[in-house]
């Protein structure tokens, strides 16, 4: 299958399972006529396969564009978790040497054990990608970036499944982090 066929199939799954219209209050507090619950798609067996293929392709394209090699990707739990794992698994199955690894950013550090905020395969000092399922204002993504940088990570770029086109991309990019998305609101609904 081609990446274009994968994108078309994933778009159909997102539209069928994740996109809802109506009157919603978003995490940012903003009102919207559109709600996108990507978890229903990213936790779907077929959806996860397609997400992994598409984000892996975008990751490798952005690495080439920026001239960087990332070691891992992750973001705020829960939305970023299936994206990171699907992409890391695709990297391994594709024969990447070494494969890109996955990490998870907790909303706050654990109060026990090693007290870590970032779990998984994160190595301070290496270039990483921050992922998010949906961006609206970009605030959640910026919180993940801040956590990664506080732990010594170097954020190369941001990878997003759906950009709602409500200022989030501009907000993140104004802080110096390039954003690549699999879909924009226009591409998804168009």
Contact (Cβ atoms closer than 8 angstroms) between residue 44 and residue 13: yes
Bridge-partner residues for 128, per DSSP?
72, 155
49-101 per-position pLDDT tens digit:
999 999 999 999 999 999 999 999 999 999 999 999 999 999 999 999 999 99
Helices (H), 31-184: 39-42, 45-66, 80-93, 139-150, 168-173
Determine the pLDDT at residue 127. Answer: 98
What rounded mean pLDDT belongs to the chain? 94
- CB distance 91 to 56 below 8 Å: yes
Taking domain 3-189, whether its CATH number is 3.40.47.10 is answered by: no
Please name every residue paired with 119 in a beta bridge, in sequence order, or none if there are none. 104
Buried b or exposed e, range 24-57, using 16+ CB within 10 angstroms: eebeeeeebebbbebbbbbebeebbbbbbbbbbb
pLDDT at 114: 62
What tokens does 121 get? 């395969």
Domain positions in the chain: 3-189
Residue 18, Cβ density class (10 Å: 0-12 exposed, 13-18 middle, ≥19 buried): buried
Rounded alpha-carbon distances, angstroms, from residue 105 to 21, 59, 146, 167, 178: 30, 19, 10, 23, 19
Taking the C-alpha atoms of residue 109 and residue 10, their distance in angstroms, rounded to an integer, is 34
Per-residue pLDDT tens over the stretch 98-116: 999 999 999 887 665 666 8
Cβ 18 vs Cβ 40: under 8 Å: yes
């Amino acid at each position: 299958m081609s990446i274009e066929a994968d994108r078309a199939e994933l778009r159909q799954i997102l539209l069928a399972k994740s996109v809802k219209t109506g009157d919603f209050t978003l995490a940012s507090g903003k009102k919207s006529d559109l709600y996108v619950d990507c978890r229903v798609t990213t936790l779907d067996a077929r959806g996860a396969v397609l997400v992994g293929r598409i984000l892996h392709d975008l990751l490798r394209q952005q690495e080439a564009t920026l001239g960087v090699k990332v070691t891992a990707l992750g973001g705020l739990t829960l939305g970023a978790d299936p994206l990171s794992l699907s992409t890391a698994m695709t990297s391994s199955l594709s024969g990447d040497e070494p494969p890109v690894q996955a990490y998870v950013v907790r909303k706050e550090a654990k109060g026990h054990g090693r007290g870590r905020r970032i779990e998984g395969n994160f190595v301070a000092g290496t270039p990483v990608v921050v992922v998010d399922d949906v961006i609206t204002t970009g605030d959640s993504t910026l919180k993940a970036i801040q956590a990664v940088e506080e732990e010594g990570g170097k954020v190369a770029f941001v990878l997003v499944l759906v950009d709602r086109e409500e200022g989030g991309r501009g907000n993140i990019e104004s802080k110096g982090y390039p954003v690549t998305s699999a879909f924009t609101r226009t591409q998804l609904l168009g």
